[in-house]
Structures are given as C-alpha cells and as structure tokens.
A and B are shown apart, each in its own frame.
Chain A
Amino acid sequence: MRVLVISPEAAVFDGEAESVVAPAYDGDVGILPRHAPFMTILGEGILSVRHGGQTSRFRVQGGFLQVVSNTVRVVAEHVQGETNAA
C-alpha cells in the first residue's frame, strides 16, 4: 500500500509500505494493506512506517489519518524526524 506522511510545509514521506502504526487520539492504530476506508484524528506520539525491512519513525502531532483505496495519508500539523521523501 502507498503511504504518505504530510506536514503543512511538505510531504515528508511518500512510498510503498507494509504497515503503519499511528498515534490516534485514543491510542495507537495499526494499518495493514487493504484496510477499509477509515478516518481518525491524530493525537501526539510516534508514527512508524515499515517499508522494505526497515522502519521510519516520525514524531507527529495533530491532524488526521485517512485510509482510502489502499492509500494511507497521515496528515499532521507537526512532523519531526526522518525526512526521506522516496
């Protein structure tokens, strides 16, 4: 599935991934490929994206997470950490 991590200033991550764990407002949510359309509010914490055997971690705060047609968009107000826009 395609994963995008987007902050107001730029897209921080864009690529294929096997799983995403994101800090939702009420606890972590895990997303695997072919997830049903889903939307939730993000809280504050560590977002990890597993892709090709490695894991990218970002500190995110605020915003939302949207899953639609096998694309996960993590749209956060603040994103810190790795900046490898593949």
Chain B
Amino acid sequence: MAKGRALKGRIKTVQNTRKITRTMELVATSKLKRAQDRVVAARPYAQALREVIADLTTPDLAQQFPLLRRPLPPSKGGPTKAAVILVTSNRGLAGAFNANLIKEARRRIEELEAAGFTVELHAVGKKGAGFFKYLKRPLAADRQDIGEKPTADHAASLVAGLIAAYEAGELASVDLVHAKFVSALTTPPTTVRILPVEPPADRTRRPDYILKPNAGAILEKLLPLYVRNVVFRGMVETVAGFYGAQRTAMKNATDNAGEIIQYLTRTYNRQRQAAITQEISEIVGGAAALQG
C-alpha cells in the first residue's frame, strides 16, 4: 500500500501545479489583452511619423542629417563601435520566448563582430541582462525598471545617449532586437536597424506642403522622434509578445498536468483494485483451507 500512498501524493502535487499554471494562463490572457490594446493604440503615431518623414525626405536633404548618413566602414577610418539593444521580459515562464530573443541577439552580435566591430550591448529586461551577465559580457546599459508598461519616455531615455554617440561619429550603427507581435501565437524575434535611419519607403504622390520653418528643420526634429518611436514600439510589442508566449506556455503546462493526473489516477486505481482482488483471494483461500 506504500506505493499507493506515494501515488496519491504525486497526484495531489500535480493537481496543485495545474491550479497554478491555469491561474497564470488566465492572468496572462487578460494582461495580453491590455498589452495588445497598447500595441494597437501606438499605431497611429508611428504611421503619422512614418508618412511625414517619407513626405519630407529627399535624397539631397538626406546628406545633411547625421542620423540618415551612413558612416564609413572601419577600414576607411569610420567608427568601429556598434550598439545592439536587446529587449526581453523581466519574468520567465513563457517557454522559449526569451531564449529566442537572446539567440537572435547573439547571432547579430556575432555578425557585427565578424565584420570587425566592437559591440556594446544595451539590455532591457531582466532575462536578457541575466544571460549576458552569466557569460560575463559587460553591458552598456541594464534597464530592468521598464516592466510591462513601457512609455515613450522610457524609450527616449534609452536612445538619447545612443543618438548623441551616433551623431558624434562614435557609433557605426544601432540595432534593436525585439519580439515582433504578429499575433498572440506568433512573436518572432526580429532585428531592426534603428541607426542610421532608413527613410521609410517613398510615397508616389506627396502633397505640396506649406512648411514652417522648412523641410530641413522639421526633419531635424522628427528624426530623433522616429528613432525613439521605433524603440518604443519594439518594447510595447515585446510585452504583448511575452504575454502571448506565456499564455501558450501555461496552457501547454495545464494540458500536460491534466494528462499526468489522468495517467497517475489510472495507475493508482489499478493498484487499489489489484490489492483488493488479492485480499479477497487470500480470504477465500483461507476459508477453503479451514473447511477442507
């Protein structure tokens, strides 16, 4: 019977685990909804900014702006430093979500290093920072304060230093590694180059604007906003992606726990039945011996 009691204990444990994972699934679902709303709400700003920059950028204007200019390669005396921003979540239990982001970041870092750059890594979120600390790689920034509600100000404080360093010609490029929120189930890790700014694809017909003061001055103001917004969106999408991944992971865990419980209960019942059968046959055997 000792085995029976042990089985009972295991069933209890798995039932408790299932309770926890199911609760986490529900919490993740409701947080996913809110995070998703934020992703959608951030779209008009990004779109307006993109359209206007596309309207204003002309090839000859592009040469004037340090943020649009491509630096010389290191072999010709250009900057040898490149920056990578990695956005991960502060928490785990989301399957391979963070591991995938970290893998993408390492791939990009290796690429840059193979091209002869020294890479400085800016980490947002505890998981990414923790991994690279474990590898003893120094971090240029370690932001764990941003959490699940990134604001435009967070993004601004993150990129201000990078924009200044890029304008000063110290950085050759800045890449952002984040989770793209395609749907709650698809959140592929993505790398975008945020500096130099790729001017958004040109629209065919641009309105004949009255510009005050002039296209150059407006662009100068808007380009940093654009860079900031790309980072902001990356962070918001990563949060939504995280909850999507967590929900899936917790749903799988709950389903698994159910299967294990079913299996254990079956084993337990079979054993109980076997014990009873054995006892009965012992009694019957005993009685038969007495009668005989």
Contacts and interface: CB of A to CB of B under 8 A. Distances in A.
Given A7-B152, A24-B212, A39-B212, A68 B207 contact: yes
Given A8-B232, A62-B225, A64-B222, A37 B42 contact: no
B45 A38 contact: no
Interface residues of A, number: 26
A8 B42 contact: yes
Nearest to B228: A8
Q: Say what secondary structure dominates the interface of chain B.
A: helix
Contacts of B212: 24, 26, 38-41
B209 interface: yes
Contacts of A36: 210
Counting chain B CB atoms within 10 Å of each CB, which of A6, A26, A62, A63 scores highest? Answer: A6
A41 B216 CA distance: 11
Contacts of A64: 52, 218, 221-222
A86 interface: no
A77 interface: yes
A56 to B, nearest CB: 17
Contacts of A10: 38, 41-42, 44
Q: Say what secondary structure dominates the interface of chain A.
A: strand
B211 interface: yes
B44 A69 contact: no
Contacts of B55: 39
A5 B156 CA distance: 20
Nearest to A42: B221
Contacts of B151: 8-9
A47 interface: no
A20 interface: no
Interface of A: 4, 6-11, 24-26, 36-41, 62-64, 66, 68-69, 73, 75, 77-78
Interface of B: 38, 41-42, 44-45, 48-49, 52, 55-56, 151-152, 155, 207-213, 217-218, 221-222, 225, 228-229, 232
30 contacts: A6-B48, A7-B45, A8-B42, A8-B45, A8-B155, A8-B228, A8-B232, A9-B38, A9-B151, A9-B152, A10-B38, A36-B210, A37-B207, A37-B209, A39-B210, A39-B212, A39-B218, A40-B212, A41-B213, A41-B218, A41-B221, A62-B225, A64-B221, A64-B222, A66-B48, A66-B52, A75-B45, A75-B48, A75-B49, A77-B152
Given A38-B209, A39-B209, A40-B218, 4 more contacts: A38-B211, A41-B212, A64-B221, A77-B225
